[in-house]
Amino acid sequence: MARLFDAYVVADWTAAETKKLGDTSLWIGVAKRDVRFRLYTETHNVATRAEGEALLASILADHRKRGDRVLVGLDFNFGYPAGTAARLKLDGTPWQAMWKFIAANVVDKADNTNNRYQVAAKMNRLMTDEAWPLWGAPAKQAQRWLTTTKPPAGAGADIPEFRATENAARKGKLQPKSVWQMHGAGAVGGQTLVGIPAVRRLLESLGPAGAVWPFGTGWCALTPDDVEPLSALVVEVWPSMFDGKPNEGEFKDQAQVRSTAEALAQMDEAGDLAQAFGPPKDATPELIAQVEQEEGWILGV
Question: Do residue 62 and residue 122 come from a single domain?
Answer: no
Question: Do residue 73 and residue 19 come from a single domain?
Answer: yes
Query: Helix 189-206 to helix 116-127 angle, to the nearest 10 degrees?
Result: 100
Sheet holding 210-212, edge to edge: 39-46, 26-33, 7-12, 70-74, 232-236, 210-212
Q: What span, in angstroms and rounded, lies between the C-alpha atoms of 16 and 116?
A: 10
Quick one: pLDDT at residue 244?
80
Quick one: pLDDT at residue 69?
96
Quick one: pLDDT at residue 1?
66
Quick one: pLDDT at residue 172?
77
Question: Do residue 210 and residue 280 come from a single domain?
Answer: yes
Q: What span, in angstroms and rounded, lies between the C-alpha atoms of 87 and 46?
A: 36
Q: Does residue 1 lie within any of the structural domains?
A: no
Question: Do residue 149 and residue 236 come from a single domain?
Answer: no
Quick one: pLDDT at residue 142?
94
Stretches in the chain below the pLDDT threshold 70 = 1
Q: Does residue 175 lie within any of the structural domains?
A: no
Number of domains in the chain: 2
Of 149, 170, 191, which residue constitutes the final position of a domain? 170
Straight-line distance from the first to the last Cα atom of the chain, in angstroms, rounded to the nearest whole number: 22
Question: Do residue 72 and residue 203 come from a single domain?
Answer: yes
The parent domain of residue 128 ranges over: 84-170
pLDDT tens digit string along 171-229? 877 889 999 999 988 899 999 999 999 999 999 999 999 999 999 999 999 999 999 99
pLDDT tens digit string along 258-284? 999 999 999 999 999 999 999 999 999
Give the list of residues 6+ apart from residue 217 with CB closer than 8 angstroms, or none. Answer: 211, 226, 233, 277
pTM of the complete model? 0.96
Question: Do residue 204 and residue 278 come from a single domain?
Answer: yes
Q: Does residue 239 lie within any of the structural domains?
A: yes
Quick one: pLDDT at residue 287?
98
Quick one: pLDDT at residue 66?
92
Q: What type of residue sits at position 194?
A: V
